[in-house]
Structure 1
Amino acid sequence: MKIAALQLCAGPRRDENLARARALIAEAAAAGAELVALPEYFCLMGWRDQDKLDIAEPPGEGPIQAMLAEAARSHGLWLVGGSLPLREGLPAAPGEPPRRARNTTLVHGPDGQRVARYDKVHLFRFDDGERRHDEAATLEPGDAPVAFTATDRRGRAWRVGLSICYDLRFPEHFRALMQPAPCDLLLVPAAFTVPTGRAHWELLLRARAVENQCYVLAPAQAGRHENGRSTWGHSLAVDPWGEVLGQLGAEGEGLLLAELSAERIAEVRRQLPALDHRRLG
């Protein structure tokens, strides 16, 4: 199964971001991708953290979700919508945006129907004296990992586990995704900061692949955004032995293609049956 990670440098205007994402999805489809994954917040990198609340959509409504459904249907592929802000419940007051939202991955199947939803469980906080980020100021966490099954055009089923960015630092999240059956592919859409990305991005992605003996695909935000923030980029594809299959650069848009091989997964798990040797969950 051919898969694709899309790298973006999103800005503060939603509709422009959706148009760029839509163009890259079409490019991936033309290259033969059957599953395409967008990065975290592909739809907006606002001037302020609170800007995401202004475009937060109720489940099943709004232009962001409509674009994802239409793109999946028109290209006949599995589309993993990186992440977007979804709101739950009532707004803070009539006509006002919600005080907090969920950072959510939505997956649409080749018929355009939504097949999975994952709300980011681990909310990022970072302060090195110069840069400070605190997702909990605008977001509320999810409470469970989510996996779904994608069937390729030859009829093979692939189990796919979902995560978002900071989840990458919590190996127990990915261990939970390996139950009751192991995943074939783990997805990590992200908008990693430059200091944390430089130190840990590739290291952690390869570790998650090795630990779980499956493929990892990580589509990322990349470069200097209009709001002044910089993200690490380097969208990555890793195989079950931890070998890097492909990587994009630190700046701007891009398309990374990789191929899933059931034989490679089986080979790694047969030679070193670590998943069968677990004793602590």
Structure 2
Amino acid sequence: MSKATDGTLVAAVIQMRSGRDVAANIDAASTLIRQAAAEGATYIQTPEMTNLLERSREELFVKIRAEREDPSVAVFAALAAELQIVLHVGSLAIRTGEDKAANRGFLFGTDGATLARYDKIHMFDVDLPNGESWRESATYQPGEEAIVVPAAGTLIGLGICYDIRFPALFRAQAGAGARVLTAPAAFTRQTGEAHWHVLQRARAIENGAFVVSAAQGGRHEDGRETYGHSLVVAPWGEVIAEVDGDAPGYALAVLDPEKADDARRRIPAIANQRSFTRVGPSGAASRTEAAE
């Protein structure tokens, strides 16, 4: 059993292999959440698309619901209250209109209240070398707000999956005081094998922050393959917890937010950041302001 000391928290990353059955996915997540809580976790994070991984747009819209009607929202809020944990549901597919959805993360407090919502900002619209093609923007409405929320005794910045490739989002959150950054994900196997660990570590190092990222792993019912390797990275860049491989499971780590402060004293990159003017080949100039 992991134990927190004064000023620390025990974080858990839940690794899943979500399929096409919403109820089965809720049950699988709930079982792992309960196991992690029994080992002392007080902040527990699940991966992107906890409730459903469905590549068919038509089938997705048959199964998803508006937030107020979504069964997973109610179950996870109640579970947070029952277990007295901060529960970060990495994301759910939530219907927002007749033909649009949100890739939406939720942070539930120890009383079950919704502390924050975050809609994924950066859409995974890519064509990969192995022939995989993804167009998230065809289904999901991108978010527009970077979220930093006080929870579990610290400030947590919310991100989702592809967001990890956009450093400005996490620098803005760190500049606002976040000492824990997050990127729960359903990373493809191809991109995960190439970039998953280095991206997580880079965001931790450059911001002097913990990065906590639960992941989907394995071959899913809709045919996609995800990388797994749910991670917790410390502010100096070392991996302090990992679910090795792509099987469902969880990993725990004790997070001391003071280590973020120490890393920022040692390398004060946020404090040293300056605005600058970018001059292009034509001589045109534009101003880039430092993140606040």
TM-score normalised by length of structure 2: 0.88
Report what 2:84 is aligned to.
76
Report what 2:238 is aligned to.
243
Matches within 5 A, 1:22-101: 22-46=30-54, 48-88=56-96, 91=97, 98-101=98-101
Report what 1:112 is aligned to.
112
Report what 1:142 is aligned to.
143
Aligned match for 1:170, one of 146, 166, 173? 166
Report what 1:132 is aligned to.
133
Check whether the contact 2:11–2:252 (CA below 8 A) recurs between aligned residues.
yes
Cα 1:47–1:142 change in 2 (3 A) is closer
Report what 2:17 is aligned to.
9
What letter corresponds to residue 221 of structure 2 in structure 1? E
Identical positions, percent:
39
Deviation for aligned residue 1:49? 3.7
Check whether the contact 1:150–1:159 (CA below 8 A) recurs between aligned residues.
yes
Q: 1:218 aligned to 2:213?
A: yes
How far does the alpha carbon of each residue in 1:181-205 deviate from its partner, in whole angstroms, 9 at most, with x for none? Answer: 3211011110001111111111111
How far does the alpha carbon of each residue in 1:93-150 deviate from its partner, in whole angstroms, 9 at most, with x for none? Answer: xxxxx21111000111000010100000000012135211110111110111111111
Q: Which is greater in Rg?
A: 2
Check whether the contact 2:174–2:209 (CA below 8 A) recurs between aligned residues.
no
Deviation for aligned residue 1:47? 5.1
What letter corresponds to residue 274 of structure 1 in structure 2? A
Check whether the contact 1:53–1:85 (CA below 8 A) recurs between aligned residues.
no
How far does the alpha carbon of each residue in 1:29-52 deviate from its partner, in whole angstroms, 9 at most, with x for none? Answer: 101011000000011112514433
Check whether the contact 2:204–2:235 (CA below 8 A) recurs between aligned residues.
yes
What letter corresponds to residue 189 of structure 2 in structure 1? V
What letter corresponds to residue 145 of structure 1 in structure 2? A
Deviation for aligned residue 1:251? 2.1
How far does the alpha carbon of each residue in 1:61-104 deviate from its partner, in whole angstroms, 9 at most, with x for none? Answer: 3211011111101100000111112223xx4xxxxxx2111100
How far does the alpha carbon of each residue in 1:194-240 deviate from its partner, in whole angstroms, 9 at most, with x for none? Answer: 11111111111100001110100110000111222100111111000
Report what 2:253 is aligned to.
258
Q: Distance in 2 between matches of 1:214 and 1:49?
A: 36
What letter corresponds to residue 251 of structure 2 in structure 1? L
Q: Distance in 1 between matches of 2:243 and 2:26?
A: 21
The answer for unaligned runs of 5 or more in structure 2 is 1-8, 276-289
What letter corresponds to residue 228 of structure 2 in structure 1? G
Q: 1:161 aligned to 2:161?
A: no
Q: Distance in 2 between matches of 1:52 and 1:111?
A: 31
Report what 1:205 is aligned to.
200
Check whether the contact 2:36–2:44 (CA below 8 A) recurs between aligned residues.
yes
What letter corresponds to residue 110 of structure 1 in structure 2? T
Report what 1:94 is aligned to.
none
Q: 1:123 aligned to 2:126?
A: no
The answer for unaligned runs of 5 or more in structure 1 is 92-97, 152-156
Structure 2 counterpart SS, 1:60: helix
Report what 2:190 is aligned to.
195
Considering only aligned residues, what root-mean-square deviation do their CA atoms show, in Å? Answer: 1.3
Structure 2 counterpart SS, 1:80: strand
Deviation for aligned residue 1:246? 1.8
Report what 2:272 is aligned to.
277
What letter corresponds to residue 133 of structure 1 in structure 2? W
Check whether the contact 1:37–1:80 (CA below 8 A) recurs between aligned residues.
yes
Check whether the contact 1:4–1:257 (CA below 8 A) recurs between aligned residues.
yes
